[in-house]
Copies of this chain bind each other. A is one copy, B any other.
Amino acid sequence: MTAPALAARARLFAALGDPARLAMVERVAAGPVSVSALARPLSLSLAAAVQHIQILERTGLLRTEKQGRVRLCRLEPQALRTVEDWLTERRTAWNSAFDRLADLLTQPEPSRPE
């Protein structure tokens, strides 16, 4: 599995970037939920909730399955791992940023920025 392109990662972050959707993800992380159980605590209409859920589904954050007249939503942990991987990539960089800072404090030779 190859790392998603920047645009795809941005869509993932954007999906988490709405308070309603973030709350939904948190709720779904605790276990499977129906659409109305996601909508109710957020005072969202069902129609609005469905639209958020579609976005979360498209970005791979959750997967749904219809059982009778109820649609069950489950977390797709894979997507959150993508976020983890991205952080890991950055961590290397920002650690070396700390290293450079440490260098500055010991030997006064700043690396010239672009």
Give A contacts to B, CB under 8 Å.
6-7, 9-19, 22-23, 25-26, 29-34, 37, 72, 74-75, 77, 80, 83-84, 87, 90-91, 93-94, 97-98, 100, 111, 113-114
A94 to B23, CA, bound (A): 15
In the A-B complex, list the 3 residue pairs whose CB atoms are closest, starting with the nearest.
Answer: A14-B17, A13-B16, A13-B17
**Are A94 and B29 CB-contacts (below 8 A) given A14-B14, A17-B16, A87-B87?**
yes
**CB < 8 Å neighbour of A29 from B25, B72, B93:** B93
Q: Give CA–CA (A25, B6) in the complex, Å.
A: 11
CB-based contact B93/A33 at 8 Å: no
Listed residue (A7, A30, A75, A113) with the most chain B CB atoms within 10 angstroms of its CB:
A113
Q: In the complex, what residues of B have CB within 8 A of residue A72's CB?
A: 113
